[in-house]
């Protein structure tokens, strides 16, 4: 069991009366599922096995109050995967949504801009798929799309909190590029006065 530094009661108080949206890849899905675990009254975080996404049983949910609105797996091209999950409770008055995205800004997110306006808080993270699945060898298109994303969020008067991830041993070929892009990403976030959760220094790399 993985213990948590916060209790379910504390998380429920924070989320009370709020609509929260998390957009991103499997890392954001993991954050969403850990929050679901705490909001459901379990005083712990999920195990690795519970966090793992099994495409063969993609409609399975671990939580009583979770609704999988859609989960479509494109086995020929995974960037076309669609996944939207919702976890809410009338009793405790919270509403938490997760949307999968393979790119920081694409047609799906653009078309959902008006729907995004209903949320009180928006958390977002996207970089690994952007760089690896779209052949963005130098991160140029990623930075351009990040700029477009934040610009459009400002237009609909929505401030988001951006999650910056550290390099991972699982993506050795991307480590150097992700390291190089840390400062340019911070500059764009600063330009748009965007709050961030910077996990970059969780690990020390030589």
User: What's the mean pLDDT in 3-19?
Assistant: 91
Q: What is the pLDDT of residues 57-91, one digit of tens each?
A: 656 678 888 999 998 888 888 899 999 999 999 99
Average pLDDT over the chain, rounded to whole? Answer: 88
Please enumerate in sequence order all residues whose Cβ is within 8 A of that of 87, keeping only pairs 6 or more positions apart, or say none.
32, 35, 36, 39, 40, 63, 65, 66, 67, 95, 96, 97
- Sorting pLDDT into bands at 50, 70 and 90, what band is 171? low
Going through 110-173 in order, the beta strands assigned E by DSSP cover 121-125, 160-164
Structure tokens, 27: 């890392």
Q: What is the pTM of this model?
A: 0.90
User: What's the mean pLDDT in 104-115?
Assistant: 91
* H or E segment and range at residue 195: strand 195-198
- Sorting pLDDT into bands at 50, 70 and 90, what band is 205? very low
134, exposed or middle or buried, with CB in 10 Å at 0-12, 13-18, 19+?
Answer: middle
Report whether pLDDT(204) > 60. no
Q: What percent of the chain is predicted at pLDDT more than 70?
A: 89
Q: Out of 32-36, 55-59, 150-154, 190-194, which region has the weakest mean confidence (pLDDT)? A: 55-59
User: What's the mean pLDDT in 172-197?
Assistant: 91
Query: What residue segments make up the domains of the chain, in order of their start?
Result: 8-202
Predicted local confidence at residue 143, as pLDDT = 98
The most confident of the ranges 40-49, 59-68, 87-96, 158-167 is 87-96
Predicted local confidence at residue 48, as pLDDT = 84
Report whether pLDDT(156) > 50. yes
CATH fold of 8-202 = Rossmann fold (3.40.50)
Q: What is the largest CA-CA distance in the chain?
A: 49
């Amino acid at each position: 069991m993985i213990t948590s530094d916060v209790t379910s009661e504390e998380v429920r108080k924070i989320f009370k009366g709020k609509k929260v949206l998390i957009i991103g890849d499997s890392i954001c899905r993991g954050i969403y599922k850990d929050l679901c675990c705490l909001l459901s009254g379990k005083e712990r975080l999920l195990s690795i096995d519970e966090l793992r996404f099994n495409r063969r049983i993609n409609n399975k949910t671990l939580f009583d109050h979770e609704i999988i609105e859609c989960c479509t797996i494109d086995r020929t091209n995974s960037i076309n995967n669609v996944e939207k999950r919702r976890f809410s409770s009338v009793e405790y008055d919270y509403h938490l949504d997760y949307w999968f995205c393979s790119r920081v800004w694409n047609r799906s997110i653009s078309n959902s801009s008006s729907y995004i306006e209903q949320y009180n808080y928006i958390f977002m993270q996207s970089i690994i798929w952007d760089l690896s699945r779209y052949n963005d060898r130098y991160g140029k298109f990623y930075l351009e799309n990040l700029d477009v994303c934040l610009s459009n969020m400002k237009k609909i008067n929505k401030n988001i909190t951006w999650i910056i991830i550290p390099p991972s041993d699982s993506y050795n070929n991307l480590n150097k590029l992700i390291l190089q892009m840390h400062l340019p990403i911070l500059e764009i976030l600063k330009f748009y006065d965007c709050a961030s959760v910077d996990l970059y220094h969780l690990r020390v790399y030589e």
